[in-house]
Amino acid sequence: MKPATFVTSFRLLAKNQFRIAIRRIQVQQGWFVRIVIGVMLVYSAFILLTLGFFFDRFSSEVWPQLDPVTVVNRYLLAMFVSLFFMRFLFQKTPKIKIIPYLHLPIRRGALIAFFQSASLFSIHNFYPLLFFVPFWLRFVQQSSAVSSPEMWMVAVMLLIGTSHYANLLLRAILQRNAPFFYGLMSLFMITAFVDETSGIGLQQPVSEYMFTRILSGQIIEIWLLLLVFGTIAFASTLQLLKSVKSPEARSQPVRVTSLNIPESWGLVGHLVRLELLLLWRNRRPRHYLLVSLLFSTMYLVFMLGTGTAVNSSAFSALVGLFASGGFVLNYGQLMFGWDSEHYQALVTRDVPFSAMVKAKLIVLQGSCVALFVISLPLFISFRSDLVPLHFAFLFYNAGITTVLIMELAARNNQAIDIGKSGGFFNYEGFSAKHWLWFIPTALPPVLFMMAMNDSPKIALILLASIGFVSILLTDVWTHYFARGLNGRKHKMIEGFTKSAG
């Protein structure tokens, strides 16, 4: 491809991607959702800018004996580990954008180069700079003890780029070799667990040592970061090229040799069995299960392992919410979307909506119990004082969180192809309301725990009691959702059919 043609192609691709982004916002989101998202983005940007410019006032409250630059240097690697996991939940791979252009007379290498480069222009890479740029201008550049402030900013940019391409690389590995991905995540979790429990705490001293040397003008660390960035970017590009050359085939179902249920469970029992089989046999739902298990334990290692990470009532409430309710919050939002492929056949059979709803409620409530049991040893090992909170949120999640998520799921009419696209958190079937719904789900217990900060035991008793009463009212909730589904069945069938086509 000639240089002029190459530049022209890149210019047209960039213009086309910009138009697609604008049209997606205009078509998929209503004006109210756009306003809410806009306010949240502006508010988040304001917080980061303020924190960057006035970091000394915040750091002096927690680390009064350390200057702001030392504090940030000490926690830089931890920041980017956290940033990586946040972007892993939300950032998409460029493969989806490349596929529609494969028929054009443009080399695949050029397409991949464009979309790999264009993927850097992401909110996940832009928002960290809202903190680091003002922090660098105010504290790093103005410090008399710093001899090479520009190198420090270059190192931060390399970390952002490394986090970006590491996310794309791991997503590609998950799509092509899921067992290897789960092995990597398990190894990372075990390493973090050993590091925290043994009291070694390597991350902070390594981070402080590396960035202190960079500020003093040492270039070895810069070359090391550049080498890591280049290696991961190249590996990510290579994996993307492989995935484009050999598109992922529709996943074959995992066969379950036996999953018997008692005959006394009747129709509801058989529907529970079908739900569990759908969950385990199909790749995308199975990812939600396995990753919920990993994150429910991995994040708890980080949040509970230091012993002082969970101090505020609000943060404690979020820990309790995710520890036993992580699967409900993720998988449960698409509870009826998983059935979209055969939903029309399902509702025309002699299957009452009440039995269908009750089976799904049992699966979600059972997941709360399962995650509670799995994560209980972590609470006992790291923060035994939070075990009562863990118990209280077991009842709250099983009784209240499950109902709130089912309210959202029962109004979702976006089709999902559960056999295709096994990539991690493919957002087919999701919309902005699914992200915004987290606010009314998580905010009430968080605000309640903050309001009852002086009486935490009473707060936990009340939360557990509310959840327990809601569990006793499962039949009431079942009939409520069944009536709603029956009234919306034609709308849901139409929505599943249109979005599938």
DSSP letters, 234-263, are: HHHHHHHHHHHHSPPPPPPPPP-S-----G
**Does 425 score more than 50 pLDDT?**
no
Query: So what's the pLDDT on residue 195?
Result: 66
Higher-pLDDT residue of 155 and 111 is 155
Task: Choose among 369, 380, 367: nearest CA to 406.
Answer: 367
Coil, strand or helix at 488: helix
Can you tell me the mean pLDDT for 35-58? 83
Query: So what's the pLDDT on residue 466?
Result: 94
Long-range contacts of 470-478 (CB under 8 A, 24+ apart): 470/399, 470/400, 470/403, 471/365, 471/395, 471/398, 471/399, 474/358, 474/361, 474/365, 475/358, 477/357, 477/361, 477/403, 477/406, 478/354, 478/357, 478/358, 478/361
Averaged confidence pLDDT in the chain: 78
Q: How far apart are CA 320 and CA 335, in angstroms?
A: 22
SS (H, E, C) 51-90: HHHCHHHHHHHHCCCCCHHHHHHHHHHHHHHHHHHHHHHH
Task: Tell whether the torsion through CA atoms of 48, 49, 55 and 61 is positive or negative.
Answer: negative
Task: Choose among 132, 154, 160, 159: nearest CA to 52.
Answer: 132
Q: Which residues does 204 contact at the CB level (< 8 Å), separation at least 6?
A: 74, 75, 78
Q: Which of 8-22, 153-167, 324-338 has the highest mean pLDDT?
A: 153-167
Can you tell me the mean pLDDT for 116-137? 86
Query: So what's the pLDDT on residue 260?
Result: 67
Is the distance from CB of 169 to CB of 177 less than 8 angstroms? no
For residue 388, the tally of other CB atoms under 10 A from its CB is: 16
At 243, list the tokens. 């995935």
**Cα angle 489, 492, 493; round to 5:** 85
Query: So what's the pLDDT on residue 423?
Result: 45
The model carries a pTM of 0.66
Task: Choose among 220, 188, 343: nearest CA to 278.
Answer: 343
SS (H, E, C) 6-30: HHHHHHHHHHHHHHHHHHHHHHHCC
For residue 476, give Cα distances in angstroms to 21, 48, 360, 471: 43, 45, 14, 10
266: left (phi over 0), alpha (psi -120 to 50) or beta: left
Query: So what's the pLDDT on residue 400?
Result: 93
Query: So what's the pLDDT on residue 501?
Result: 52
Percent of the chain with pLDDT over 90: 14
Higher-pLDDT residue of 79 and 397 is 397
Is the distance from CB of 184 to CB of 115 less than 8 angstroms? no
Query: So what's the pLDDT on residue 370?
Result: 92
CB-based burial of residue 382 (10 Å sphere; 0-12 exposed, 13-18 middle, 19+ buried)?
buried
Coil, strand or helix at 301: helix
User: Which pLDDT band holds residue 84 (cuts at 50, 70, 90)?
Assistant: confident
Query: So what's the pLDDT on residue 476?
Result: 93
Query: So what's the pLDDT on residue 91?
Result: 67
Burial string for 437-459 (b: 16+ CB within 10 Å, else e) reads: beeebbebbbebbeebeeeeeeb
Which of 172-181, 190-199, 236-245, 302-311 is the least confident region? 302-311
**Does 145 score more than 90 pLDDT?**
no
**Does 314 score more than 80 pLDDT?**
no
For residue 326, the tally of other CB atoms under 10 A from its CB is: 25
Burial string for 163-202 (b: 16+ CB within 10 Å, else e) reads: bbbbbbbbbbbbbbebeebbeebeeebeebbeebeeeeee
- Amino acid, res. 13: L
Which of 42-51, 204-213, 305-314, 348-357 is the least confident region? 305-314
Query: So what's the pLDDT on residue 379?
Result: 84
Q: How far apart are CA 50 and CA 33, in angstroms?
A: 26
